[in-house]
Structure 1
Amino acid sequence: MEEEYIKLIFGLKLKQIRTDKNLSLFGLSKLSGLSKSYLNEIEKGKKYPKPDKIAILSEKLDIPYDHMVSLKLDKNLAPIGEILQSKILKEIPLEVFGIKESTLIEIVANAPAKVNAFISTIIEIAQYYNFSKESFYLASLRSYQEANNNYFDDLEASVLAFSKAYQVDLNKPITSKELEEILVEEFNYTIHDNELDKHKSLDNLRSVFIPKNKTLLLASEVDDAQRTFIYAKELAYNYLKLEDRLYTFSWIKFENFDQVLNNFYASYFAGALILPKALITKKLQAIFEKKTFDASLFLKTMECFNASPESFYQRLTNILPKEFNIQNLFFLRFTHKAGSEKYHLKKELHLSHQHSPRANETNEHYCRRWVSLNVLKEISSNNKEHVFDMQISNYPSDNMKYLLLTSATKDPFRENHYRSISIGLLINKQLLKKLQFAENKKIISKDVAVTCERCAIKNCKERKAPPVFLDKIEKNNKIENVVAELNKRFS
């Protein structure tokens, strides 16, 4: 264990023993002959006593020496010990969030019982919802993105510097061929196109990178847009010198948070390279200036970049807050199997607060009035490559409305599977100043909820489950009212 953790554990144990014996710091100082300030430093985890001092404390407190120096904590402090011994604080770069590890340690030392209760609660919730280490890392990454409005100026600048250094023209669509040339000539890559097809267990992977000899294996199903994105990510890893990285796309597992963060940096770089800020901003401006939404122009704009719809929508989450001051938005990616009634929310991002449509881990039924689900239902029943739709979603329970833009496409790696990508913009005065078409009455508007189980909409034909949670709340309210009436009558 880290030395500072060992100090903290000893301090926590000493403080607990002292408290259990109803001793103040002053009392322990008088009993042991050690200064009050010295004991205070020990309990805060700032100092570790020498063996002779531990022997004095052991004798005066009537606690075995071995128990004093053991790293084992009793059940009241065990969760804190588990956190420290797991090294999870070392795996998460706290400095990214502007937090010093020493600050967290001091908080633990000052209020161990309360911090322990909090940690125990988090662990219990995580176990209840089967919250994995990868889920924790991804949640941390989302928080980091949201804290920065999902815009990173240093990465945008790196893309401009890269394009200048390698003479990549950002005013025209970037092809996989020109990025492949840079990978091969400048970074000594060897690329194989069909090796992954020989292994059925790898049918969901688009690429595998072999670091020893810089060999990149690609699945034959990847189209040019996907290939371009993969190449752009590889260039990012090399150009940004991101050493701790993932070697498969899509990822299989994360070993630590640095891999999660570097994977995000590489993806951001790739998106900014393929969809340059200046060019996409100019094209979006032309769409936003119109009084009515021009769907054909929006789709034409999407198609003028060598990028997938998902990359395009994700890039909007960078551009809209920064260039158009549209701060309140969310991004969702759903997956769906044809013929199934299940819809899985695989990715989400919320700026600048937690909006109503969000991931649900309790097997409830997402609202079937969402346009994100309707486009999946539509594309799974026909042979179209791309289905686009838009909707104004009104959440009566939150008194909020969102303008939703949604695209659905086939999953090229899974037969009969589809995915939808959505971006939702909170309709407020600020948005209406930027997008005049947002209040156009021709856009379909629907009252929606998050899940059927929590929906108060009456006579909903799309409902897949009764509003059991609302029924429970209503029943409890009736009980409370009757109890209050009885209390009033018999008081």
Structure 2
Amino acid sequence: MTTDREKVRLIFGLKIKQLRNDLGLSTYDLADRTGLSPSYLNEIEKGKKYPKTEKIFALAKALNSSYDTLVSLQVSKSLEPVVELLNSNILTELPLDLFGIEPGYFLEVMASAPAKLSAFINTLIEIGRNYDLSVEQFYFSALRTYQAMHNNYFEELEKQADTFLTDYPLPELPGQYASWLIRVLNEVYGCTVEFYDETTQPALMSLRSVYLPEQQKLLVNRELSTEQQVFTLSREVGYHWLGLTIRPLESSVLEARSFDEVLHNFQASYFARCILIPRQQLLDKLRIMVQQPDWDNERMLQMLAQFTVTPEMFLLRVTNLLSGDFGLNNLFFLRFNQLLNGRFIMAKELHLSKLHTPHGIARDEHYCRRQMSVTILNELRQLQESGQWDGQPICRAQRISFVTNNTTYFVFSIAKSSPPTPDNSSINIGFPIDETLLEKIPFIGDPKLPTVQVGETCERCPIADCTVRAAPPTVLAHQQRTKTIQATIEQLRAVSASPGK
């Protein structure tokens, strides 16, 4: 976050650099004129240091300026877009430091072409507004980029979890997890836990939990499954253990006040998965699984059942270790929700190494009904409506081949209900298939696995004989019309350029 004091330093530094460049002086030339060291001047120009009064007078004299001009927040016309950017709080919303970018460097780049870069940034903001992107969605996009940069594996958080489990060992019986976590919260951090329901807190029933910092109290929805309650308590331990005081108070981020809230929520959640699914325990099981010659849905569900966690927690943890310990970082993670009205929503996505297909490019379009992530939800809904569902997650796998770009993926999905909402969710991990992957994970070549041609959305799909299409290929038709027009224009130009025409 850029404070008022930091803004003053940044503007002062940019003014010094601009005046120095106008005079054709190097940093060493200015150092000779002022008696200040080149490194100190460099810190000033980057907005990291603000000199004392006598040094400002020395700088003013060396730069043929005045003390008042230097300390004033008034800037030259070329720097006005930079100041406008600072005052707009965009730098507050951009987590530049997370990506190794100092605000001073960002503004230094902007100062070299302020009007163009300012217009570019404002264009991005306008695009976000036109597509109704909230600040929270922007923050989550930044978080996904951060996760992808680190292949969704964070060694420091892994070590923090190992240390915690050394001090507070995981109980042998899963039924003791909740009481163990409540005891840690109460005895170590003075945090009390209170469960609520429809009669005590009806307005909070759509949430899983709420933290009240003034009372050091965590309110937990009694309607949650055992696994959801345990995760909620584990994440609360994570906030305290990691010292994360800037945090959302609700289980679902209703209105993020800063990127730090989103980041710290992710870090506490990652920590929670680490203590509930210890690295070595899962690694041992994954090493056995990846060597199997065939795929088995029950094998995956049995592995899940050994941990007191939801399918989403489990598969997110699997992505951590597949990337961090197996080097399989060319994958995607998706969560689809199916609402009661039958609509499918891509609620969460994470792409490592590159942007994979499918991805959330078309929030108002209909995702392909042939993809496992969607077909498994239809299957689950049918089981529920017929009274045949036993309440346990279901697992399926397939190879999908996208007709639009000829890429083929192995995807496995776990579907389950999502209390306290009436929706169902499918949690999916996919890998683009190549020879290297087939060597590392033999079961991906299992001939019993179905291979299905799919599109990304119905609106973009060229499969003419699809029997489960939910909408006509309107986007594809528009693209084809545009190509036809362009091809016709090129032909007309070629004719007009021919000799004798």
User: Which TM-score applies when normalising by structure 1?
Assistant: 0.85
Question: Which of 310, 313, 319 is residue 311 of structure 1 equivalent to?
Answer: 313
Query: Cα deviation per residue 1:315-347 (whole Å; 9 max; x = unaligned)?
Result: 11101112222111111111112343x211111
Say whether 1:462 aligns with 2:475.
Answer: no
Q: 1:7 to 1:434 in 2, by over 3 A?
A: same
Say whether 1:447 aligns with 2:447.
Answer: no
* Within-5 A mapping of 1:169-184: 175-184=177-186
Q: Indicate conservation of the 8 Å contact 1:336/1:343, yes or no.
A: yes
Give aligned pairs, total.
470
In structure 1, how many angstroms separate the alpha carbons of the residues matched to 2:284 and 2:183? 29
Question: For structure 1, which segment, 101-110 or 303-312, has the greater mean C-alpha deviation from structure 2 after superposition?
Answer: 101-110
In the alignment, what sits opposite 2:167? 165
Shift of 1:235: 1.1
Q: Indicate conservation of the 8 Å contact 2:170/2:177, yes or no.
A: no
**SS of 1:254's equivalent?**
coil
Question: Which of 225, 250, 267 is residue 223 of structure 1 equivalent to?
Answer: 225
Shift of 1:399: 2.6
In structure 2, how many angstroms separate the alpha carbons of the residues matched to 1:124 and 1:80? 18
* Within-5 A mapping of 1:367-446: 367-383=368-384, 384=389, 385=391, 386-415=393-422, 417-446=423-452
Q: Indicate conservation of the 8 Å contact 2:345/2:363, yes or no.
A: no
In the alignment, what sits opposite 1:295? 297
In the alignment, what sits opposite 1:352? 353
In structure 2, how many angstroms separate the alpha carbons of the residues matched to 1:408 and 1:10? 56
Query: Cα deviation per residue 1:263-315 (whole Å; 9 max; x = unaligned)?
Result: 11100000011111111111122222211112211110001100011111111
* Within-5 A mapping of 1:44-443: 80-90=82-92, 92-168=94-170, 175-194=177-196, 197-340=199-342, 342-383=343-384, 384=389, 385=391, 386-415=393-422, 417-443=423-449
Q: 1:94 to 1:476 in 2, by over 3 A?
A: closer
Q: 1:463 to 1:109 in 2, by over 3 A?
A: same
**SS of 1:405's equivalent?**
strand
In structure 1, how many angstroms separate the alpha carbons of the residues matched to 2:173 and 2:287? 16
Query: Cα deviation per residue 1:31-62 (whole Å; 9 max; x = unaligned)?
Result: xxx9xx99x99xx7869988999xx989xxxx
Corresponding letter in the other structure for 2:329: Q
Task: Give the fraction of aligned pairs with identical amino acids, expressed as a percent.
Answer: 34
In the alignment, what sits opposite 1:475? 481
Q: Indicate conservation of the 8 Å contact 1:170/1:276, yes or no.
A: no
Q: Indicate conservation of the 8 Å contact 2:247/2:264, yes or no.
A: yes
In structure 2, how many angstroms separate the alpha carbons of the residues matched to 1:170 and 1:273? 13
Q: 1:207 to 1:432 in 2, by over 3 A?
A: same
Q: 1:57 to 1:157 in 2, by over 3 A?
A: closer
**SS of 1:307's equivalent?**
coil
In structure 1, how many angstroms separate the alpha carbons of the residues matched to 2:93 and 2:488? 53
Shift of 1:458: 2.6
Q: 1:15 to 1:474 in 2, by over 3 A?
A: farther
In structure 2, how many angstroms separate the alpha carbons of the residues matched to 1:360 and 1:197? 41
Shift of 1:411: 2.1
CA RMSD of aligned residues (A): 3.5
Corresponding letter in the other structure for 1:144: Y
Q: 1:407 to 1:134 in 2, by over 3 A?
A: same
In structure 2, how many angstroms separate the alpha carbons of the residues matched to 1:73 and 1:391? 61
Which stretches in structure 2 are left out of the alignment for 5+ residues?
A: 35-40
In structure 2, how many angstroms separate the alpha carbons of the residues matched to 1:14 and 1:163? 52
